[in-house]
Structures are given as C-alpha cells and as structure tokens.
Amino acid sequence: MKFSWHNFFTWLTNIDRRWIYLLMAIVVVLPLFFSFSVKVKPAKTVNMLYDFMENLEPGNTILIGFDYSPDSLAELNPMGKAVVYHAFKRGIRVMGIALAWPSAAGLGLDVIQSQAFKINLEIMDEKLKEIDALDEIKKYKADKELTDDEVHFRIMKLAVGIFERNQDDIDLFSDLMEILRATGAADEFEPFKADLILSGVDYTYFGYKPGYVSIMLGMGKDMVSTLNTDYRGISLMQYEMFNSNTNKIKNYEDVSLVVDLAAGGSVGAWVVYVNTKFGRPVAAGVTAVMAADYYPFIQSGQLIGLLNGMRGAADYETLNMRHFPDTAKPGKGLGGMASQTWAHIMILLFILLGNIGYFITKKGGEA
C-alpha cells in the first residue's frame, strides 16, 4: 500500500484525543521519576539572592516565611529546600514561620527538617557505613526487612534525638537504640555534635502563629515574648539560639535576611513592616503567575532578590550544584523544568503537525 501524506494527516486529525492526553501525561510524569534535568541559566534576580547569601557570615541568621498553601507547594517547596540547603551548607542559622496560611505549618517544617536531615547524612556518611558493617545491625535490618536507607534514617533520628534531647525520637526506635548502646556505636556520635544541624541550635521552626501583622511587628521588638514557643510548644528560652550569651536572637536586628515564600499578598506586608520599618533586607519566592507584580520591588531596592516560580527553584538548585558539586543534586525544581520543557516541545509539535495537516487535507490532494 502506497504511503500518502494526505491519508496520514486525515488519520491524525481524527485520532481519539485521549491518546494525546495519555502522551502528555507520560511526557510530564517521566522526568519527575527519572533523572531527566535541563540546564538553565540562573536569572539575575536569583543570582542577587544567592550572592547576598554567599556574603553572609557563618552564624548569621535568616528568617523564612512559609506563606502558601498545599496547592502551591509544587513551585514553592523546591525554592524553600534550595535556600535552606544553601544556608545550612554555609553555617547560616534558619528560622521558619507560617503567618498567612495555617495549612503551611507542616510544609515549612518538612522543608527545613528534610534539608537538615540531608546534610546530617552527608556529615555522618562514613560513620553510617561503619555501623552498617556490625553484625547486630545486619541482623536488625534482616529481621525488620529494612533497606540501608531506612536503617540510616533511624540511626540519624536517634543520633540527632540524643543531642536535641528529643525523647520521643529515641523511644520510637528504642530497640535500635539498645543495639547501638550495646555495641558502643552510640558513644561514637559525640564527635559529630558540633557539625550536625540541630533544632534549637542551627534552626528553629515556630509553626503557624495567628496574628499576621501584629506578629511581624512584635518580632521587631522581641521574638521570644512575641512567639513564646516553637511548633512543638517548647519555650524558645530552652534553645541556644535564644539564650546564648554570645549569639542569641532578640529581634530583627539579629536577622540578616527575611525570605518570604508566598502564594498571596504577604510579600507586601514583609516589605512594609520589616524592610521599610525595621530596615532589614527582604527577598521573595513567589508563584510564576505573581512574579510580574514584584519586579518593581527589585528596581526600588525593597527586595534584594526574587525567585520566579518553578524556574526560580531550578535556578537556585543550579547555583547550589555549582557551589557544592560533590553533594548538591538536582531537586524537584530542575525535575519540574524538565517536565515543562518536554511538555512545551510536544505542544509545539502538535501545533506544527496540526497546521501542516490542515493545509494538506484542505487541498484535497496528495503531497
């Protein structure tokens, strides 16, 4: 049978649209599960924030506002993780708070704790491999049917729990704790204490605090009296970040930068009440649909950096990979950009084929 372009495009124009939806779903989903990433050139506003962070000193503190709800986490969570990872790698302390959306309380906690855990794994990598070789650990792993990563997760929870005096985490894996103590492995955690990222020392998460503007203004005077507790209800005065004689945090004067991750109008409030009133630098990460509204703030100097949607997250991840090539990996920002890129290519291809097919079938002859 002789091939005919006319017949081909006639068939293509009559194809069940569900096949197109299926193909689009495959193109979008595959890069999220496999290591497909794209190269991006970081935008100027992202470089501005990154350079500002690079110029901070170890021991400085940044405050991150998690002002978005779960429907925006695909764009804003990767931003937060990239910024927090950068801060922790440079020895910069992190505070997090949710003011605009109660549902953001858990999102902010996951962002900060996931990056603390990631870096702690990097720090204790060699020690974890030594513990893996213990016969008792091999038996524990086999009995519990756990993977190496799952065992490492439990060991890290215990190591950090010891230094943070978090009895809940220690009790959660008490059987493993007994093995570590019996083998002496638990005693070998102590040399890592100064390097590990610990709650109350290297970061504090306040959770959701009602009051919005009143909280913003109160933190400018005294954070402890305004916030009182962290997300677990523990008094801030129990933490080194707030009771140290040498580097404690009292108010915005002790905060080097505020970064607001927003899906609403909270950026304006941080600019008005923190930048204008208290003179502290503010940066923002916003959903792509909002970004155009905030470029004038860059030009006026009221924002020192801006992350624009998933592309902003991909840009920041790219900079992390340049500065920390041995440890930083592509995150969901770069993965999401790969999905968008291939989806856009497929859409353009369909548009091209559709137009070619229209003219060929319209002529009614064979090409």
Which of 19-23, 58-62, 224-228, 237-241 is the least confident region? 19-23
Q: Give the pLDDT confidence of 317-347 residue by residue, as tens digits.
A: 999 999 999 998 888 888 888 778 888 888 8
* Least confident span in 3-17, 151-165, 186-200, 242-256: 3-17
Query: DSSP class of residue 57?
Result: P
pTM listed for this prediction? 0.88
Lowest mean per-residue pLDDT among 7-21, 136-150, 266-280, 296-310: 7-21
Mean pLDDT calculated for residue range 93-103: 95
Q: So what's the pLDDT on residue 366?
A: 47
Residue 367 is predicted with a pLDDT of 44
Q: Could you give the strand order of the β-sheet that contains 306-308, starting from the edge strand earlier in sequence?
A: 203-208, 93-98, 61-67, 257-262, 282-286, 306-308
| Per-domain boundaries in the chain | 5-36+339-363, 44-124+196-329
Can you name the CATH fold of 44-124+196-329? Rossmann fold (3.40.50)
Percent of the chain whose predicted confidence (pLDDT) is above 90: 72
Q: What tokens does 254 get? A: 């002790």
8 Å CB contact between 226 and 250:
no
The average confidence (pLDDT) of the chain is: 91
pLDDT tens column, 190-210: 999 999 999 999 999 999 999
Predicted confidence (pLDDT) per residue in 22-70, tens digit: 888 888 888 777 766 678 899 999 999 999 999 999 999 999 999 999 9
CA distances from 295 to 12, 63, 290, 305 (A): 43, 21, 10, 9
Average the pLDDT over 299-308 and give the result.
96
Structure tokens at 223: 């954070």
Using a 10 angstrom Cβ sphere, with 0-12 exposed, 13-18 middle and 19 or more buried, the burial of residue 163 is middle
Average pLDDT over residues 127-142: 93
pLDDT for position 318: 95
